[in-house]
Amino acid sequence: MRMVKELKTEYPNPEYPVSVKLIEKRKECKECPCEEVRTKDLEFIVVRSGTVTVECGEKYILGPKQALLILRGVPRKIVPCCCENTGWYSIVYRPEFVVNRDAQSPLSKKYYESFRSLLPKCLKLEGENLREERALRRLAKIIEANIKKKPGFELVTLGNMALMWADLLEHTLEPQAEYTGKNVPARDELRVIEAKHYIDVTYYEALSLEDIAAKIHVSRNECCRAFKRVLNMSPVDYLIRRRIFEAAKVMYKDPLKVDSVSELAINVGFNTISYFNRMFKRYMLYTPTEFATALKQGDKEAEKRYYALENTLNGGL
């Protein structure tokens, strides 16, 4: 049975059970702090420079501005890369400092004990989605506050810890969308369903990729990957198709409402008539004027293009 050393953290102020330490290792230094230890409190390892491997049941490789949350009592070993200068912060704190002094309180049970039971022993934060990005920014603010120790730094630390805990709680206890099909869809599908609904009701506004990604709490890259995997198109492509369809629907269902092509373009979210005409031609194979003329003449091909675009938007999910 291997012996694991208990990492004892000294808190000079019992009312402020937070410790922030910087550990650095130069590449020419042969001695590495590789001792396996465990702490009675929560710990974040935040890499400042270089590459660090943290072993705690599994191996986690951390680069700069990445972090690892280690739960209470979990043995961990930190192995810095010996071929480069490395540095990392160890943030240790008692969770009761954030949640509640009384570990048996309803808030503690709701926001710490239940959360801890769902977490793995360690949780890596890479900044792959907006929640992780926010958590990493809060960690950076905690580190800065405890290094500079300006008046009120304890409150800055407490506030950012509480907000970070809420971010991680939301990340872990993410509510599942209702689904009545035989199989529960994957997380990508749930995200795309939510993003599609958001676009469908706000397509006429000045939406950006950042807006869509923020709505489903992921990074821009992850948002694009989810759309590509599920719909085989980008979020922006879906937005443009929705705008073109809504314009075509007005022309097809209620042509008397169309006073001018330029007004129609603005109403569905386009800033310029030239771009609207170009996109309309791409997806409908007609210019707006040609499409309106074809509908008046009872052109079945124009109707087919309309319903084909509708199926593209509404099919799949």
Q: Which two tokens stand for residue 226?
A: 């989810």
96: number of Cβ within 10 Å: 15
Per the DSSP assignment, residues forming a β-bridge with 49 are 87
pLDDT at 123: 84
- Series of mean pLDDT values for 10-residue runs along the chain (317 residues): 71 90 79 71 92 88 90 87 88 81 59 58 76 84 95 94 78 48 58 93 93 90 88 93 94 78 92 93 93 89 91 75
Q: Go through 158-187 and write b for each residue having 16 or more CB atoms within 10 A of its CB, e for each that does not.
A: bbbbebbbbbbbebeeeeeeeeeeeeebee
pLDDT at 197: 93
pTM: 0.55
pLDDT at 106: 66
Q: Which CATH homologous superfamily contains domain 5-172?
A: Regulatory protein AraC (2.60.120.280)
Taking a C-beta distance cutoff of 8 angstroms, is the pair 45, 52 a contact?
Answer: yes
Residue 55 is which amino acid?
E
pLDDT at 32: 54
pLDDT at 154: 94
DSSP secondary structure letter of residue 121: S
- Please state, in angstroms and rounded to a whole number, the distance separating the CA atoms of residues 264 and 273: 9
Domain ranges across the chain: 5-172, 187-314
pLDDT at 156: 95
Taking a C-beta distance cutoff of 8 angstroms, is the pair 270, 244 a contact?
Answer: no
- CATH architecture of the domain formed by 187-314: Orthogonal Bundle (1.10)
